[in-house]
A and B are shown apart, each in its own frame.
Chain A
Amino acid sequence: MLKMQHLSKVYRTHMVETHALRDFSIHVRDGEFVAVTGPSGSGKTTFLNIAGLLEEFTSGEFWLDGVDVRGLGDDARSKLRNEKIGFIFQGFNLIPDLNLFDNVDVPLRYRGFNAAERKKRIEESLSRVGLSSRMKHYPSELSGGQQQRVAIARALAGSPRLLMADEPTGNLDSLMARGVMELLEEINRQGTTIIMVTHDPELAARAQRNVHVMDGQVTDFDAEPSLRVKTRDADVETAAA
């Protein structure tokens, strides 16, 4: 699904060069649920931005669902992002003056679906997150957990193959966080690949595979994701204990 090899990202100012990622390699397979962990400033968000085609990289190779991303123009990158990737952010990032229906509609508009297709997808995805009865509500009328569910519905509406989640429960209390995590796991079980950036070891433990990033490099990862799938419940229990 996603493969990066020897990728680097350097931020240059006229005074300083900062290496956010260096010799960064990762391979995420179809259907995996990967947690990317690491301390603040380690480069995990930079990785997520590059993986989500929101930022360019400096050197290396990057394939997304078999497409070589190097050298793609803005239009092609935007199209690829729209078709292949769904985003979930820590701050939900809903547009406050659009109701839920219109918020979920945003990525579908850029996909160019007709009105009937968009309506069908919006209703389906809001129903999937349990908010089909609140389509005309505005984000400010919802709790944090519900807002994140809307964000998930928005991310799912375009049927992306890859879901990128950046600290998806960071702004939620534990009860809401658990609900969101369960939803993500359900989505993953249905076949969507998920890459989740988190610094929460408890959440990371619920993913099939952990990738630890430190100083812009992958320092540790589980080589056998299939093992983690089988033992996930046990891992969570251990971490919780």
Chain B
Amino acid sequence: MFSYYLQLGLRSLRRNPILTALMVLGIALGIAASMTTLTVLHLMGSDPIPWKSSKLLHVQLDNWDINQPYGDDGSPPDQVSYRDATALMQAGKADKQTAIFKLALPIQPENPEVKPFLTVGRVAYGDFFSMFEPRFKYGQGWGKAEDDAHARVVVLSRETNEKLFGGADSTGKTVRIDGNDYRVSGVLDDWTLRVKYYDLTNGSLDDTEAFFIPFTTGIDLKQRSSGNNSCFKESGPGWDAYLASECVWMQVWVQLDSPARKAEYKSFLDSYVNEQKKLGRFARPLDNRLLDVNQWMADQKVVSGDVKVQAGLGFAFLLVCLVNTIGLLLAKFTRKAGEVGLRRALGASRRQVFAQFLVESGVVGLSGGFIGLLLTGLGLYAVRALYTDYKTVAHLDWSMVATTILLAITAAVLAGLYPTWRACQVAPAAQLKTQ
């Protein structure tokens, strides 16, 4: 009977094209408004690396001023100092570990026709690549030997390699960055993260970096972070004083492959800080934190209150559209009271009439869903055009496409419940006489 109801539904929609268009458009607009905002919310809040997000942990140590906590809620700094980052890296207690920071440097191409250009890069330890798992197009990252040797190696993004080498395999070739030559060890394939979760402090919606160089090399070359740098007291003059200061300007991530390893590492951090306390540092109470990817995103409020409010407004608009659809369906179904009476007389049970009209509502929803999908695409295009920060999160993925269609059908069927119930209350005898 479902296919019969579907045929009847489609026929009924064709019978009143204007009324149908109003209903479909109402659903489509409501769906588009809600799905545009929901997509941004969903993509910002979704797990960016679900297969290992619980094993990747962000390290926080509270080296801040005893009289003034870093966060208003008393939380420790979201970055760490060079002293602590290097101490943790040298201890090597995690399964994998990296200290990272952002830097902005000019690349000077060999090709004279390509002008030097300023890019955003990142210094990292070699483990970075196996921890965050970008795919390589050519070559690979560097290893511990290159970290220890302060090697001049670089991993390029696909776009940078495109610009410098026309997309060819550039491994082994030389790239000049800020006047220093680096040997290309690898070229990444496309690596687009909806949220750049490994550095939420310095532009969580920024593109991934144009190049990566070893942490040790970056420090050798006295590269300062182009990201946030927070100090609660003067660091003193000179590079060495800066490195020895309590200023926080880099992130430390560790990979710990089991809860037991996590407990061990937490214990190690506590021991480390307690040792530092004996040296007169870490005046504040012990508050070391190890948050996994999702916990860290929640802590940093990646999904802002504004985005949630927008999604709420989107769904409120959908509700308004649904109320309008209920009215239109009510009008449509009321006009079909005679047909209901006739179908009942010819043997349709109330349940069958109910099913027929619900399927008709579902057809309205399906049509609204497809148009809503197009409008959602347009809405997300507008979001990307108006708010460049959102360009990585304002895209429909398959789960959201399915959600859109499902939501549209569900919304229309819900809107159709009351009009359908009313239609089923028709007294067939009365309708048959008045036809």
Q: Which residues of A contact B (CB under 8 A)?
A: 45, 49, 52, 54-55, 74-75, 78-79, 81-83, 87, 89-93, 95, 97-98, 106-107, 109-111, 154, 158, 166
Contact = CB atoms under 8 A, between A and B. Distances in A.
B435 A87 contact: no
B347 A93 contact: no
B342 A78 contact: no
A91 B435 contact: yes
B349 A107 contact: no
A74 B339 contact: no
Nearest to A73: B349
B146 to A, nearest CB: 73
Contacts of A90: 433
Given A45-B433, A55-B429, A97 B347 contact: no
B352 interface: yes
Interface string B1-14: 10010000001000
B346 A106 contact: yes
Given A49-B429, A54-B428, A95 B348 contact: no
Given A81-B346, A93-B432, A110-B346, 9 more contacts: A54-B429, A82-B347, A82-B348, A89-B433, A90-B433, A98-B11, A106-B342, A154-B346, A158-B347
A78 B432 contact: no
Contact of A81 (B338, B345, B433): B345
Given A54-B428, A93-B432, A74 B11 contact: no
B52 interface: no
Nearest to A112: B1
B349 A75 contact: yes
Contacts of B11: 97-98
Contact of A78 (B339, B349, B433): B349
* Residue among B11, B339, B351, B429 with max Cβ neighbours from chain A (10 Å): B429
Nearest to B435: A91
B342 A110 contact: no
Nearest to B428: A54
Given A54-B429, A93-B435, A78 B344 contact: yes
A54 B346 contact: no
A98 B4 CA distance: 13
Give 8 nearest A-B pairs by CB, closest first.
Answer: A82-B347, A78-B349, A49-B429, A110-B347, A107-B346, A91-B435, A54-B429, A75-B349
Contacts of B429: 45, 49, 54-55
B183 interface: no
Given A93-B435, A95-B339, A109-B1, A54 B347 contact: no
A79 B351 CA distance: 12
B241 to A, nearest CB: 87
Contacts of A110: 343, 346-349, 352
B80 to A, nearest CB: 71
Nearest to A97: B15
B214 to A, nearest CB: 73
B284 interface: no
Nearest to A83: B347
A188 B351 CA distance: 33
B281 interface: no
Contacts of A54: 344-345, 428-429, 432
B350 interface: yes
A180 B427 CA distance: 28
Contacts of B352: 78, 110
A54 B342 CA distance: 10
Nearest to B432: A89
Contact of B338 (A87, A93, A98, A111): A93
A175 B237 CA distance: 116
Nearest to A167: B433
A154 B427 CA distance: 21
A79 B435 contact: no
Interface string B313-357: 000000000000000000000000011001111111111100000
Contacts of B338: 93
A52 B433 CA distance: 13
A89 B435 contact: yes
B347 A81 contact: yes
Nearest to B11: A97
Given A54-B429, A54-B432, A97-B15, A82 B344 contact: no
Contacts of B15: 97
Contact of B343 (A55, A75, A89, A106): A106
Given A95-B342, A97-B11, A107 B347 contact: yes
13 contacts: A54-B345, A54-B429, A54-B432, A79-B347, A79-B349, A82-B348, A89-B433, A93-B345, A93-B435, A98-B11, A107-B346, A110-B349, A166-B433
